[in-house]
Amino acid sequence: MTVSETVDESELSVESELLAGLESVVTTAGPVTDRFDVEAPFTGAVIGQLPACGPEDVEEAFDRADFAQEAWADRSVEERAAVFKRYHDLVLDHAEELLDVVQVESGKARRHAYEEVLDVAITTRHYAYRAEEYLESEPRDAAIPGLSETTVHHHPVGVVGIISPWNYPLSLAISDAVPALLAGNSVVIKPAEQTSYTALKAIELLREAGLPRDAFQVVTGFGEPLGEPLVANADYVCFTGSSATGRIVASQAGEHLTDCSLELGGKNPGIVCEDADVERAVDGLIRGCFTNAGQLCISLERLYVHEDVYGRFVEAFVDEIEDLHLGTEYSHDVDVGSLISEQQLEKVTEHVEEAKAEGATVLTGGTGRPDLGPYFYEPTVLTDVDESMALCAEETFGPVVSIYEYSDDDDVIERANDSDYGLNASIWTEDLERGKRMAKRIETGTVNVNEAYAAAWVALDAPMGGMKDSGIGRRHGEHGFMKYTEPQTVAVQKKLGMTAPPGVPYWLYAKIMNKTLKLQRRIPGMR
């Protein structure tokens, strides 16, 4: 791990004033000895330094979270929900400040940062008004009615460990924590080192809303020293990131018999049918491909366009892309912002250059824009991409999309499914019933018809997650809440026991039971 020398306050950029005081949210076991730089992607300048926490800090965070969890869980669900109802309003009241911090750390366009504010507010409201219903004890049917009474209770799992990524630093630090906390758990989070200030600001507001300080702990730093102790100490692990790292997290969780949910990578397909509204598809797919400069796990990197509309779509798509405004402004007028880092720029560049060398054609883009900022890359469209190329098979995670021509539905569904990933897909057709039929055949956790990703993402009452190498488990909906609970079945036996009554020979008991079970099968409500 490389840790820079301490930066003098006078050397920090003006933007660092936004971040003043947020370090106090970080949990440390003692005096901070190591720090790491946080960089502004728009300029490459260092805007601050945060503690490079170690395993001892993780232990301290879990000790505090464990101590706080019981008292937090003892509060009524109504009391816990009141905290999050206040938080909903605080997030909206402080939206501009949150947007500034997100942009400073991530380099994304402001309109894309605003999606994160919306997500946190909507998710918070959704769960705050449903937590009581989810956690209510449920009567369940007994095997033989009248002989016993069965109830299922839902208890918090304990302390939830969250490892959140840099691409959506507000949304993915908070929206997974909200249901965990409402269920009565405490949380320890390790946010991505590139965007930790965003998580700290969001948690500061949550404490202002009334969440006990120790119920939500933060350790900042790098994955290698912090990931393993976080998984080892957690009662449940929630990870969002690459498939390669997800395998490591899953392996470590398995060693400790700790349940986990993982949302991982995607190489998501979009399909434009011959009856699609081409203008609408172009508009929607530009958002689907280039939101957050393509650094979105559910963005679309492969577009399959029917031969009947292929030429018209490609021409309109490229024309619209060439009109996109790239920039570093803190306004909603910018269409595409920066990549996060030099490492991400190198990966995007490598994918495009390799494809070009192997015969792909660049229709627009295909180059970096250092005149705008160190990590900018132009929105890029390629054709003539062989499906064996890395650009087609591997997640690029940048503003790059390849377009392929197809002729019939069976062919395009087979090609769309020909991937190790299965996170999101998009289908464009004016025949909604056809779109629904096609969607059921796509091997992804979410499919949007006549939308790129937003319709499924904001459907918070429905589960969201991946198939195949795109992950395990789900966020959103009842699935995204109940995963943070332990169901407990309590069965109360009444008069007779679950065996032959005294004085009744077992052969007679078995004969009576056979007749009883056959009778039950024939009576509705007793099956």
Q: Catalogue the active-site residues.
A: 263, 297
Long-range contacts of 316-324 (CB under 8 A, 24+ apart): 316/278, 316/279, 316/282, 317/282, 317/285, 317/286, 317/381, 317/403, 318/363, 318/364, 318/381, 320/282, 320/283, 320/286, 321/286, 321/290, 321/364, 321/365, 321/379, 321/381, 322/364, 324/286, 324/290, 324/379
What is the amino acid identity at position 266?
G
Separation of CA 205 from chain center: 21
Task: Enter the tokens of residue 193.
Answer: 């080192």
Beta pairing class for 148-156 and 485-493 = antiparallel
Give the chain's end-to-end CA distance (angstroms, integer).
61
In order of 174, 425, 450, 462, 476, the CA distances from 26 in angstroms are: 15, 38, 43, 33, 27
Q: Check the CA dihedral 274-276-281-282 and report its sign.
A: positive
Among 291, 191, 197, 294, CA closest to 241 = 191
Q: Which residue matches tokens 């269409």?
A: 335
Helices (H), 409-463: 409-417, 432-441, 454-457
Q: In whole angstroms, give the CA distance from residue 90 to residue 203.
A: 11
Length of the chain: 527
